[in-house]
Amino acid sequence: MNTTSAQQPVSSSATTDHEAGVSSRPQPLYRPFHDRMLAGVAAGVARYFDVDVTIVRIVFAVLAVVGGIGVPLYLAGWLLIPDEDAEQSIASSFIQSLQARSR
């Protein structure tokens, strides 16, 4: 029985994650201004997960028709995911303004 392990030589053409364009830091979730149909939730989710925006839109539509959960999910995304040029979401801004009024 042969118990030695054979190691594969590393070729000089191997690329690192950085060279291949893969970022080690997570991409932020935001609602972009480009590719919007309504509020940009589907476009933001598609960019975050690196999938086609049409697939995300179809998923939202199917969820809206089949179980009715697609509309509340989309509304939650609209309230909780910030615009691409905003520092915080609509819900965060609203809660912060309520807290400022109560002081």
Task: Read off the pLDDT of residues 36-64 as tens digits, 9 standing for 90 and up.
Answer: 889 999 999 999 999 999 999 999 999 99
Q: Where in the sequence is the domain holding 61, given as residue range(s)? A: 41-102
Using only the alpha carbons of the chain, give its radius of gyration: 21
The answer to the question of residue 21 being in a domain is no
The answer to the question of residue 78 being in a domain is yes
SS3 47: helix
The answer to whether 33 and 86 are in contact (CB under 8 A) is no
The answer to the question of residue 82 being in a domain is yes
Q: How many domains are there within the chain?
A: 1
pLDDT tens per residue, the chain (103 residues)?
Answer: 555 555 544 444 444 444 455 555 668 888 898 888 899 999 999 999 999 999 999 999 999 999 889 999 999 999 999 998 888 888 988 898 888 888 7
Q: What is the DSSP letter of 78?
A: H
The answer to the question of residue 13 being in a domain is no
